[in-house]
Amino acid sequence: MIRRLPLAIVGAGFCGMGAGQVCGAPVFDANLQPGGVCHSYYLDRGGRRVQDGMTADCFRFEPAGGHWLFDASSRTLAAFNHLSPLRPHSRRAAVYFPDSDLLIPYPLQYHLRCLPSAQRQRILDEIAAPVPDAEPMLSFKDWLLHSFGPTLCELFFFPFNQRYTAGLYEQISPQDLYKTVLDVERVRTGAERRQQEEGYNVVFHYPTGGLSALATALAARCNLHLNQRLQHVDVDRKLLHFASGEAVRYERMLSSVPLNTMAALADVDVSARPDPSTGVTVVNLGAIRGPRCPSCHWLYLPNSRSGVHRVGFYSEVDSSFVPTDRKRELVSLYAEKGFASEHAPTAAETAQLEAEVVHELRDWGFIEEALVVSSTVTVPAYTWHWIGSSWSERTRQQLAAHDILQIGRYGAWRFQGMGASFEEGQAAASCWNGS
């Protein structure tokens, strides 16, 4: 017998769980744990996964690198804090130049005082110089050059974004520009003296019990159905077909499934080139802290032998990421390397990356010895738009015509954090459930 649902929710990340809490509708997810990529896992010192019980003797990691709450409203933070206590953190991020061993606070453009005087002056002149109006369909690379000038772009923005976007920055439109702030007066001030931190994540929060503690607490308030992989959506009959063999009839659906995946599942084709996405390999390490391990939450890298574009330090956010008996000696960290989603790395390539990352981190003095190494591959990790593309908008419109509303970071094909995703899910469920 086919179940009939007024509203079905597919995807149990923070967006789907936000929707499920509001309306009580069933939330289906392919994974065995809630939270999507936003959860924690533990490895003991032998590299074995610890599913439950005592984790004090373990390293804690996250499958997609550090995920921090930076965009939640005060109301959402209060709700999360009630479920799993949160701790606020003032961001400590920097740009690291391995070749010169130079560490400059982030964002680089507001800390030019750290650069040699001649280079600093050249950057100031280029940013302040009048430039022609940008072409209406410029690429992300063109926008960077137009905004920051050639010197700063060649020094950091080009090589970093080459790795971060897996080479797409020359073909995609400018987006998420709040990550790359530019205030000419602040640039000038930062060339002379240290100034107040700037950016979209100056203050962020993290659950003291780990990300899975929060995800599990949220899941307990939902009608959650895990290990339910969606195989096909019959939009004409409004049927969801799951790999388990179950079929569910829906009147309306909220989906945080990646937009390209849902389009394929629902046989929706808007006759346009789908927008691209990139994946990320995250190399998680538990290690003996090196003599030059920085006290930063994360570092942006314009170059590295291994090709990673960011290194983050979990244990600088919370000491519970390392075993309790050796907190000062150990470090829990991650390194990220991007790739085009259609070119996911093989197991052999991932193993090679692990070896290269460990060797490079030792050369930099960040670690002395790697004790455990664990890698994950996330696809998609970041979503992008071709210049002038209307694919995502048209695809969402066509799905909405079949009563499927795409929401969330991947469902709506836009960057946002856990807080904004949770709130979007709540708002969508309130609207679509008629409350």
pLDDT bin (cut points 50, 70, 90) of residue 132 is: low
pLDDT in tens, 186-199: 999 999 998 877 77
Residue 98: inside a domain: no
β-bridge mates for residue 331, sequence order: 287
pLDDT in tens, 393-426: 999 999 999 999 999 999 999 999 999 999 999 9
CA–CA distance, 193 with 112 (Å, rounded to integer): 9
b/e burial code for range 233-253 (CB count within 10 A of at least 16 → b):
bebeebebebeeeebbebebb
Q: Is the same domain home to 401 and 319?
A: no
Q: Is the same domain home to 369 and 293?
A: yes
Q: Is the same domain home to 167 and 118?
A: yes
Residue 52 has pLDDT above 80, yes or no: no
CA–CA distance, 353 with 282 (Å, rounded to integer): 10
Q: CA quadruple 271, 273, 275, 277: dihedral positive or negative? A: positive
pLDDT bin (cut points 50, 70, 90) of residue 246 is: very high
Q: Is the same domain home to 261 and 320?
A: no
Residue 398: inside a domain: yes
Q: Which domain holds residue 145?
A: 108-190
CA–CA distance, 45 with 51 (Å, rounded to integer): 14
Residue 196: inside a domain: no
Q: Is the same domain home to 353 and 323?
A: yes
Residue 244: inside a domain: yes
Please tell me the predicted confidence (pLDDT) of residue 134. 57
179 vs 305, higher pLDDT:
305
CA–CA distance, 312 with 332 (Å, rounded to integer): 9
Distances (CA, A) of 85 to 45, 77, 199, 227: 27, 10, 25, 28
* Structural domains in the chain (count): 3
Residue 249 has pLDDT above 60, yes or no: yes
Among 55-64, 110-119, 246-255, 298-307, the minimum mean pLDDT is found in: 55-64
Residue 435 has pLDDT above 50, yes or no: no
Tell me whether residue 4 is exposed, middle or buried, using C-beta atoms within 10 angstroms of its C-beta: 0 to 12, 13 to 18, 19 or more: exposed
Please tell me the predicted confidence (pLDDT) of residue 243. 96
Phi/psi for 38 (5° steps) reads -95, 75
Residue 204: inside a domain: no
